[in-house]
Structures are given as C-alpha cells and as structure tokens.
C-alpha cells in the first residue's frame, strides 16, 4: 500500500489565548497532569519500544501502520451536534463508501481554531462539490459550539461538540501543559497573522470550555473513506494545522467506487 501523507508526531501542544490578562484566562488553573477518562488508541505501531507520546524526533506513517479496528472503535464514540443532540461519530458519514474529512479543533475558545474554522468554512463548498463531507469537532459543550457558529459564523450542520474529549482520546491526539505552551510548531501562526486577525473579528473568550483541562487539548485532521483511514495528522502545537490543499488532494485521489 502506498504511503499516505501523515504529519510528523510530537508531544507538543501549546495553548492559544486571546489575552493572558483576561479575567477568565487569569483564573484558569492548569494541572500539568489531568486524569484521562479513556485510554488513547495507539494509532501507530513502532518496533523500537518507544511510545508515540514520548517521541521527540519526527516520524512518518503509512496506512498499514494504523490499527485495523480503529474505525470500529471510533464508532462507539458519542459526541453532540451544535444543537445539543447526541450522535455517534460513525453516523456522521456513510460507513461503506462515503468520504469524510474530520477536523478536530482544539476548543471553541481558541482563536487559532477560529482561524481554522474560517478556512474550513471557505473550503466547504469545494469539498462538497468533490463528494466529500466536512465534519468539524471541537472541545466544549454545544452552547460553546453555537457561540463559534453564530459569531464566526460557521455552518452548524457540520459542527459538533466533544465536551469529554472522547474522540480526541481515542485518536491519541496530543495533550498536556508543558508542550502546549512551549512547542516550536506554534510559531507557525505568526506567519498567518492577517488571516487570524480577520477570523477573530467577533471572537469571544466565553467560548472557552468551562472544564479548564480542555484548553490543553490539541487537534488533528483525518480523512476516511467508509471505514478506511486515508490520511491522519496530529497537530504538534497550537496553530499547527493540516494544510487544506493537502487534505483536498488526498480526497481527490481516492479511487472511484
């Protein structure tokens, strides 16, 4: 099987705040270690005995390196629509031949995620014209998702909330205090200052999760065809998002059924 483009993995996951002087932000307490309710799924296998979460160097992955039952495990994950209705992740796209781009944002109060959501909104029509369903998931409750949807704005029909970070845990996405603040990958956002400025025009810090441990979560990007995983990328740090042109190219290369 051909090697699929999967971004390098690191443990870093910096935070992104609108202002460290904000009353809401300054009152947050960030535990270095937060209890996890679910064990992260080990998506990548390694023969050298090192855990993915401890990797410092760079690594690539092919489709054969993913656990074969990963889509089935994800099928048990329940999240919420932006309107507040529970839904199984597997029910969001055709599990036989449907192609879906699943974009996991950090949390609804992250300005960098407003930037990514803005890019996803602009690309939505292009993906749909290619027969691809776009799914955006963020950390927080449905009412936080609606804040982003109303203020950005962003279409609610493809926006979902994962307040307990179930999908993030199962996908083993990066999480933590130290790497969240200090990962070098976060510097990429400075090259996109203008797009970030436009995206946060109507931003509100109130979209930040009430459960403060959620702000330490990083996101990622995945492409599925039915139950087959075609592309995976874990964000190394805040603002380190998958290039959408790369994701779109993967979708266009999917063989016709």
Q: Return the domain boundaries, the chain.
A: 23-252
Q: Which residues contact 66 (CB under 8 A, 6 or more apart)?
A: 43, 44, 229, 232
Alpha-helix runs per DSSP H in 31-151: 70-74, 111-129, 142-151
d(CA 38, CA 115): 29
Instruction: Look at residue 10 in the predicted model and tell me its pLDDT.
Output: 39
d(CA 1, CA 28): 46
Answer whether CATH 3.40.30.10 is correct for domain 23-252. Answer: yes
pLDDT in tens, the chain (257 residues): 444 444 433 333 333 444 434 444 334 343 333 334 434 444 433 333 333 332 222 323 344 445 666 667 788 899 999 999 999 999 999 999 999 999 999 999 999 999 999 999 999 999 999 999 999 999 999 999 999 999 999 999 999 999 999 999 999 899 987 656 666 666 676 667 798 899 999 999 999 999 999 999 999 999 999 999 999 999 988 888 999 999 999 999 887 66
Instruction: Look at residue 75 in the predicted model and tell me its pLDDT.
Output: 81
Alpha-helix runs per DSSP H in the chain: 23-26, 70-74, 111-129, 142-151, 166-170, 177-182, 193-199, 244-252
Instruction: Look at residue 254 in the predicted model and tell me its pLDDT.
Output: 80
Question: Does residue 25 sit in helix, strand or coil?
Answer: helix
Instruction: Look at residue 197 in the predicted model and tell me its pLDDT.
Output: 92
Instruction: Look at residue 29 in the predicted model and tell me its pLDDT.
Output: 40
Instruction: Look at residue 257 in the predicted model and tell me its pLDDT.
Output: 60
Instruction: Look at residue 184 in the predicted model and tell me its pLDDT.
Output: 63
């Amino acid at each position: 099987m051909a090697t699929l483009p999967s971004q390098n993995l690191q443990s870093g996951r910096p935070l992104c705040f609108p202002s460290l002087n904000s009353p809401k932000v300054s009152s947050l307490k960030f535990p270095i270690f937060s209890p996890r309710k679910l064990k992260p799924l080990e998506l990548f296998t390694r023969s050298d005995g090192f855990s993915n979460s401890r990797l410092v160097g760079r690594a690539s992955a092919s489709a054969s390196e993913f656990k074969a039952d990963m889509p089935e495990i994800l099928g048990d994950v329940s999240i919420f629509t932006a309107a507040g209705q529970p839904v199984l992740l597997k029910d969001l796209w055709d599990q036989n031949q449907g192609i879906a781009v699943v974009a996991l944002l950090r949390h609804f109060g992250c300005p960098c995620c407003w930037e990514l959501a803005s890019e996803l909104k602009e690309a939505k029509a292009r993906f749909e014209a290619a027969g691809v369903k776009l799914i955006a998931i963020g950390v927080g409750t449905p009412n936080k998702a609606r804040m982003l949807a109303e203020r950005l704005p962003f279409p609610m029909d493809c926006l979902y909330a994962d307040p307990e970070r179930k999908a993030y845990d199962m996908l083993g996405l990066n999480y933590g205090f130290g790497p969240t603040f200090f990962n070098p990958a976060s510097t990429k956002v400075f090259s996109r200052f203008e797009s970030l400025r436009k995206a946060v025009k109507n931003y509100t810090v109130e979209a930040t999760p009430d459960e403060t441990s959620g702000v330490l979560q990083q996101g990622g990007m995945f492409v599925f065809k039915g139950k087959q995983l075609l592309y995976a990328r874990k964000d190394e740090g805040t603002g380190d998002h998958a290039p959408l042109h790369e994701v779109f190219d993967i979708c266009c290369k999917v063989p016709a059924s």
